[in-house]
Structure 1
């Protein structure tokens, strides 16, 4: 897995990102993390939105600053995306967590989600987030296994209004001393 890295969204990756985005859209699956649902037709506008969000500029009510990264293969293919929320609102504490991540449909079950979460924990540590909340839907066994692999300690589930059960895990970054 040394052939992948996290990168900030950038204009030079427009075509690989559009390929990633369109594959996901065509799959009909929910866009995860939600930030990849931003329409990239105005690519420079999308990049500005992501940059502004990271700096806390123009955030909608109830939102916190967040950092978005793309998981990039050495060959230039965007494999996945992660959104790291710098803080937790009540909603994020229950159902969103600090880190939301996803791997494009054609690249799943290859170990990329584990690498993406590993690299994301490093970025969270850089942001001063030492105790990281990561969540997944109850039936998302693959995500649950990935979280557990990285030291996730399960806490009380959260049940959304529609009955969907969210599993919640705290990960204590390895660099943090207690």
Structure 2
């Protein structure tokens, strides 16, 4: 049964396979401003090296700490991976506070499921599992956004109790209770 776990080197091989799937659909380009896209650009060429991947895992874990250096405008975030045994299925980030940009565009929680694991309920299960974590971090409710034309993501958010607030540009904004 899949579970949310802290990033770990034990899923290295399946993480690389997932990254190849994301790259095949065009992710990881300079135009991809997502969390995953930025990570792929910064680390992707060397992730196959165990020591580079271990450093990436450590940096990802450290991002939850306030004192960790990060780019201007970025906030601390708790990153969790959705795994089943040794198989990496997706990832989720709980941002520790909202900036003006996150209020309009990114929200409190962002999530991604690897292409070969989509349409099997993983996004909904992953988000449901993350809501108690967000609650323990002090959030209730959380803001989750999706592109206006992303019907699947909208169904995930609504399926987890999301209440539509408004549309800002291309993004739909929902508030989801964590308790």
Q: TM bucket by the smaller chain?
A: 0.7 to 0.9
SS at match of 1:168: strand
Contact 1:33 1:82 in 2 (8 A): no
TM norm structure 2: 0.86
SS at match of 2:4: strand
Point out where structure 2 has 5 or more consecutive residues left out of the alignment.
none
After the TM superposition, which segments of 4 or more aligned residues of structure 1 sit over 2 Å from their partners? 29-37
Q: Structure 1 residue 60 and structure 2 residue 71: aligned? A: yes
* 1:98-177 → structure 2 map (5 Å cutoff): 98-159=108-169, 165-173=170-178, 175=179
Among 90, 95, 102, the alignment partner of 1:85 is: 95
Which stretch shifts more, 41-50 or 102-111?
Answer: 41-50
User: How far apart, CA to CA, are the structure 1 residues paired with 2:54 and 2:166?
Assistant: 41
2:7 aligns with 9
1:35 aligns with 35
Which stretch shifts more, 63-72 or 12-21?
Answer: 12-21
- Please report the RMSD computed on the Cα atoms of aligned residues, expressed in angstroms: 1.8
Aligned pair count reads: 166
Deviation at residue 6 of structure 1 after TM alignment: 0.5
User: How far apart, CA to CA, are the structure 2 residues paired with 1:22 and 1:126?
Assistant: 34
1:48 aligns with 58
Deviation at residue 12 of structure 1 after TM alignment: 1.9
Deviation at residue 152 of structure 1 after TM alignment: 0.7
